[in-house]
Amino acid sequence: MSMENAVPERVIEDRLKRILDLASREGLEYVLLAQPENVQYATGFDVVGNPPKTAYALVAESLEGPILMVPPLEYKEAVDTVSPLVKVVSFKLGEKPLKALLRLLVEYQVRGCVGLDLCTREMADGLRAKLEVREVKDLNDGLLKLREVKDSYEVECIRQATRVVEAGLQRAYEVLREGVREVDVAAEVERALRIEGAEGMAFDTIVASGPRSAYPHAKPTKRVIKRGEVVVVDLGVRVHGYCSDMTRTFIVGENREASQVIAAVKGAQEAALKVMRDGVKASTPDAEARRALKEKALDEYFIHSLGHGVGLSVHEGPALSSSSNDVLREGNVVTVEPGVYIPGKFGVRLEDVVLINKGGWSRISRLEGL
């Protein structure tokens, strides 16, 4: 992330307020963040990735803004790319992360009740031994819930990531033909994703053909695609740290049975979308998708949940599943991805990304006709 696309200061201020409100409700004086997604959320520093960067963030009402602690090799990038509201400090050269962190906390006289998003025994014991800390609380669940509702900056980042994925799916459509290998398709798609601006993959690209398309998470192989076969392509990228996740199912040539299943899966997605809005139980759209597939005698082949939230993590809340206790809220960005997987024959999945609002939802993905 460069200076011109750094997270705006007003966004950091709003997030800081939300984190401090959570801390206040939990009776906390300090919040210490170590999970890459939470550090990036609080500071705007590009931490998430594969592998993620090492970084910590300290947030408290008594501080003017978040404190971001990074190793020396990340210091200049952090200073150049984060909001002036964020104070950047560095490990000493060769200093172990936990020792550096404890040094920071001693310097800022952290005490009282502290919330952690990565509450390991080693870290909790270190806080109690080195500092006047009365209580250590695990704050990760609260932070995950907080991050489920996206601000306008996050929605725009996810929208940009989705545009990139759509270009990759368009390229898949262009190169898919009889005689090409799954890995050839994946190579062309990933090249297109990079050209369009993908900073990294959110997960391993899925290109699965023929009977292998019935494996929901099949990775591309040297298998040669034959005429009449189904090919499932599932792509996810990161842009400014934020993810998108989309799937399309293609037929090379003609396959009447597969075409009928694709139509049924599209109908299941439409049935789910009809009930999605702020305040609806997240289990409801999952049930509607299954009901639609049951009418086509295909529900037994729908072997995963309907969808999930996307953001700094490619899989986060809310969970759209039969067992979910989540409730959809305005600002949630979620996938809607019904699928049918018939062992030994083929699989079909259709996945789009939508933004929940008061009256329903709006599309983030907009790829039609594929």
Sheet containing strand 316-320, edge to edge, reads 316-320, 307-309, 333-336, 352-357, 360-363
Q: Which residues contact 248 (CB under 8 A, 6 or more apart)?
A: 169, 172, 173, 232, 233, 350, 351, 367, 370
Q: Is 197 helix (H, G, I), strand (E, B) or coil?
A: coil
The average confidence (pLDDT) of the chain is 94
In the chain, the N- to C-terminal Cα span, in Å, equals 32
Q: Considering only 123-132, 191-200, 267-276, 281-290, which range has the smallest mean pLDDT?
A: 123-132
pLDDT band at 363 (very low <50, low <70, confident <90, very high): very high
**What separation in angstroms does the CA of 130 have from each of 59, 74, 99?**
19, 26, 11
pTM, rounded to two decimals? 0.94
Q: Which residues contact 54 (CB under 8 A, 6 or more apart)?
A: 70, 71, 74, 97
Q: For domain 152-363, give the CATH superfamily.
A: Creatinase/methionine aminopeptidase superfamily (3.90.230.10)
Nearest CA to 342 out of 218, 221, 211 is that of: 211
Q: For residue range 173-190, what is the model confidence (pLDDT) as tens digits?
A: 999 999 999 999 999 999
Nearest CA to 285 out of 352, 348, 235, 343 is that of: 352
Beta bridge partners of 200: 238
Percent of the chain with pLDDT over 70: 98
pLDDT band at 1 (very low <50, low <70, confident <90, very high): very low
Q: Determine the average pLDDT of the residues in 101-118.
A: 89
> Quick one: how far is CA 252 from the chain centroid?
31
- Residue 308 reports pLDDT greater than 50: yes
- Residue 3 reports pLDDT greater than 50: no
- Residue 343 reports pLDDT greater than 90: yes
8 A C-beta contact, residue 303 and residue 255? no
Residue type, 28: L
Q: For domain 3-147, give the CATH superfamily.
A: Creatinase/prolidase N-terminal domain (3.40.350.10)
Q: For residue range 117-176, what is the model confidence (pLDDT) as tens digits?
A: 987 777 777 777 778 788 889 999 999 999 999 999 999 999 999 999 999 999 999 999
What pLDDT is stored for residue 51 in this prediction? 85
Q: Determine the average pLDDT of the residues in 263-287.
A: 98
8 A C-beta contact, residue 44 and residue 12? yes
Q: For residue range 4-37, what is the model confidence (pLDDT) as tens digits?
A: 568 999 999 999 999 999 999 999 999 999 999 9
Cα atoms found within 13 Å of the Cα of residue 194, Cβ hemisphere only: 8
Rounded to an integer, what distance in angstroms lies between the CA atom of residue 363 and that of residue 336? Answer: 11
What pLDDT is stored for residue 5 in this prediction? 60
Domain spans of the chain, in order of start: 3-147, 152-363
- Residue 2 reports pLDDT greater than 50: no
How many degrees, rounded to 5, is the angle at CA 69 between CA 63 and CA 70? 160
What pLDDT is stored for residue 4 in this prediction? 52
